[in-house]
């Protein structure tokens, strides 16, 4: 057994002990409160209490989801329906109704019932396999004597009444410890697999949630495309088109002055040349905003590097992508503009002096992380730049996660399922 496996086996002991405490206390208390609050709905009190209790239940379940992913690599999907937050009594009634009609609520109750029984037992096994060795050797070192005077003690199937039986208990405890070094991580994973079997949404619910999400992101994509077309039309009308019209008028004036006033005609020609250069620059910027040429020609990695070079804050770009393999053009475009928005937010709002970007691919998904050492406080939600990024990624079934505590640092992580070719 290598050092990493031994460490994991030993860590499974205190982790299992913590899980057993949470299972036997948190799940029992929250299950009881939920049942009582639902029972009080007919007299009105439960209408106010039930949403609050169910919110705590969901926080409890989400905490266990986080531990499952962090400690055992077991990912437990969540499928809670959005809860409205209207003010007044009507809002409370609506919240209570939505939560009770959500199948995920009843999955949580079913899980807590199992968590306080089978979940408690599976979580308690890893610390028992480790601590029993200590108890066996404590008996062997002389503690068996006062216990024997009181009739002895049972160490599993060994009745400890003498030094020999105390040594047998120590040997059995050592054997349990050795067994635990091999099975403790699997026992801990079994605890979380049980939670996954009860908490994870059914296939039908998962498909329904996916359809709802795709419907929502489709509407967002249509709205975003319409807004983008309006922006392009406005930029063309106010920028390049106006300059080209002015240049045409100047050329007409030059045609009339070329023989009568050559000096004036020469001056207007210089102005027309400047206008044409400015119009060309604006058209290039407009095209770059639609689909940067470097992205089409050299791929996402080089496009992000070029983007980083134009920033006023030092930006480090790390790339771990297969050579000569690229995602589909729409996916690359979505990732590029998502990175651009995240970098813009970091420069404008973070007060950072260092930014980093990490591009990688694995498990069938393109993963992009953008971090900075600024003041933190970045949030998703309506009206924020990151909400637009979230909508853009949602079109491709992608996800956005933001970690930005007050004081920093900020880490924005994006994943887009895709295939490279």
The tens digit of pLDDT for each residue in 274-288 reads 777 666 666 665 555
Residue 260 pLDDT greater than 90, yes or no: no
CATH of 298-417, one of 3.40.50.300, 3.40.718.10, 1.10.645.10, 3.30.565.10: 3.30.565.10
Residues of the chain with CATH 3.30.565.10: 298-417
3-class SS of residue 322: coil
Residue 31 pLDDT greater than 90, yes or no: yes
Residue 301 pLDDT greater than 80, yes or no: yes
Query: What predicted TM-score, i.e. pTM, was given to this entire model?
Result: 0.53
Query: Which residues lie below 8 Å from residue 331, measured CB to CB, with a gap of 6+?
Result: 366, 396, 416, 418
Cis previous bond, 409, omega within 30: yes
- Taking the C-alpha atoms of residue 136 and residue 158, their distance in angstroms, rounded to an integer, is 10
| CATH 1.20.5 assigned to 220-290 | yes
Lowest mean pLDDT among 252-261, 283-292, 324-333: 283-292
Residues of the chain with CATH 1.20.5: 220-290
Lowest mean pLDDT among 22-31, 256-265, 344-353: 256-265
- Taking the C-alpha atoms of residue 259 and residue 306, their distance in angstroms, rounded to an integer, is 49
């Amino acid at each position: 057994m290598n050092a990493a496996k031994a460490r994991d086996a030993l860590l499974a002991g205190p982790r299992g002990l913590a899980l057993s405490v949470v299972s036997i206390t948190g799940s029992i208390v929250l299950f009881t409160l939920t049942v009582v609050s639902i029972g009080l709905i007919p007299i009105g009190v439960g209408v106010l209490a039930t949403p609050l209790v169910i919110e705590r239940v969901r926080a409890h379940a989400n905490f266990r989801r986080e531990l499952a992913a962090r400690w055992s690599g077991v990912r437990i999907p969540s499928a809670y329906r959005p809860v409205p937050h209207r003010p007044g009594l009507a809002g409370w009634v609506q919240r209570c109704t939505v939560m009770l009609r959500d199948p995920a609520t009843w999955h949580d109750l079913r899980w807590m019932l199992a968590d306080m029984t089978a979940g408690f037992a599976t979580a308690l096994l890893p610390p028992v396999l480790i601590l029993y060795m200590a108890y066996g050797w404590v008996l062997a070192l002389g503690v068996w004597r006062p216990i024997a005077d009181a009739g002895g003690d049972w160490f599993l199937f060994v009745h400890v009444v003498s030094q020999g039986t105390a040594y047998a208990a120590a040997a059995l405890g050592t054997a349990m410890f050795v067994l635990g070094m091999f099975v403790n991580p699997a026992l801990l994973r079994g605890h979380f697999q049980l939670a996954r079997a009860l908490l994870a949404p059914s296939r039908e619910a998962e498909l329904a949630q996916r359809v709802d999400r795709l419907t929502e992101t489709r509407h967002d994509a249509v709205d975003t495309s319409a807004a983008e077309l309006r922006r392009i039309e406005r930029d063309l009308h106010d920028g390049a088109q106006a300059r080209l019209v002015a240049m045409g008028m100047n050329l007409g004036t030059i045609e009339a002055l070329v023989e009568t006033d050559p000096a004036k005609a020469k001056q207007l020609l210089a102005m027309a040349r400047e206008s044409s250069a400015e119009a060309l620059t604006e058209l290039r910027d407009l095209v770059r905003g639609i689909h940067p040429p470097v992205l089409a020609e050299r791929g996402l990695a080089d496009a992000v590097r070029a983007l980083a070079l134009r920033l006023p804050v030092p930006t480090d770009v790390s790339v771990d992508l297969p050579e000569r393999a690229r995602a589909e053009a729409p996916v690359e475009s979505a990732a590029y503009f998502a990175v651009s928005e995240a970098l813009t937010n970091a420069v404008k709002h973070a007060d950072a002096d260092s930014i980093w970007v990490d591009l990688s691919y694995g498990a069938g998904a393109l993963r992009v992380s953008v971090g900075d050492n600024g003041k933190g406080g970045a949030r998703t939600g309506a009206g924020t730049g990151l909400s637009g990024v979230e909508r853009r990624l949602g079109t491709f079934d992608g996800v956005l996660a933001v970690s930005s505590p007050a004081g920093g640092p900020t880490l924005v992580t994006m994943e887009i399922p895709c295939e490279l070719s």
